Amino acid sequence: MTPEKKLKLTAEPGKQELFIVREFEAPRDMVFKAYTDPDILIKWLGPDGYIMEIDYYDGKSGGAYRYIHTDPKGTQYTFHGVIHSMDAPEMLIQTFEYEGMPTKGHVILDTAIFEELPNGRTKLTIQSVFKSVADRDGMISSGMEYGLTEGFAKLDKILAS
C-alpha cells in the first residue's frame, strides 16, 4: 500500500471556507513542533525562492505572530495574526491577515488539527474560514499570481545562465 501523500484541497462553490488535508511520514509531536517552532517554520512556510523573516512569534494560547516573505525581486509580503489556542500536539487555532490588502479586516480563521495515524504517521487538516466568499476566492486566485511570479523567476534564472 502506498501512503497517500497528496494534498487535498476542498473549496465548495459559494462558501466562505476551504479545507486542506495532508498526511506526513512523521509522528504527531514532530509535525506539531515543525508547525509551531519559529526556527523550523522559516525553513518551509515561505514559497520557493522567497526569504522568510519572523518579526515576532509568541507561540502560546493568547500569543501572536508576524512574519515577512520577501520575493526574489525584493517585494515584501507581511502577515500577522493572533494565536487563539495552541494545544500541543493536537490543535492550533489562529487568525491570519495579509497586511498588503487595500483595507483592513480581511481576517482568516485557521484551525489546524493534527491526528495520529498508525505507523508513526500524522494527518493534518486545516480549515480556513474567510470573511467573505470573495475573500476566499481571492486567496485561491492569488495562487495564480504566485504561479506567474514563480514562472518569471525561473525564466530569469534560465536567462541568466
Partner 1 sequence: MAIQARRDVFQAIADPTRRQIMGLVARERMNLNAIADNFEMSRPAISQHIKILMECGLLNIKQQGRERYCEVELQPLTEVADWMQPFIKMLEQRFDRLDDVLNQMKTDKKSKK
Instruction: Summarize as ranges the residues that interact with partner 1 (CB under 8 A).
Output: 5-7, 9, 11, 13-14, 20, 22, 24-26, 30-31, 33-35, 40, 43-45, 47-48, 139-144, 146-147
| In the complex, least distance from residue 91 CB atom to partner 1, rounded to whole angstroms | 18
Per 3-state DSSP, the chain is made up of helix, strand and coil in percentages (nearest 5) of: 25, 40, 35
Which residue number, 9 or 51, has a Cβ lying nearer to partner 1? 9
Which residue number, 62 or 157, has a Cβ lying nearer to partner 1? 157
| In the complex, least distance from residue 7 CB atom to partner 1, rounded to whole angstroms | 5
**Residue 72 preceded by cis peptide, ω within 30:** no
Cell matching residue 141: 486566485
Burial environment of residue 30 by CB neighbours within 10 A (0 to 12, 13 to 18, 19 or more): middle
Pairing of strands 17-24, 51-57: unpaired
| In the complex, least distance from residue 113 CB atom to partner 1, rounded to whole angstroms | 15
Sequence letter at residue 131: K
| In the complex, least distance from residue 62 CB atom to partner 1, rounded to whole angstroms | 26
d(CA 25, CA 114) in angstroms, rounded, equals: 13
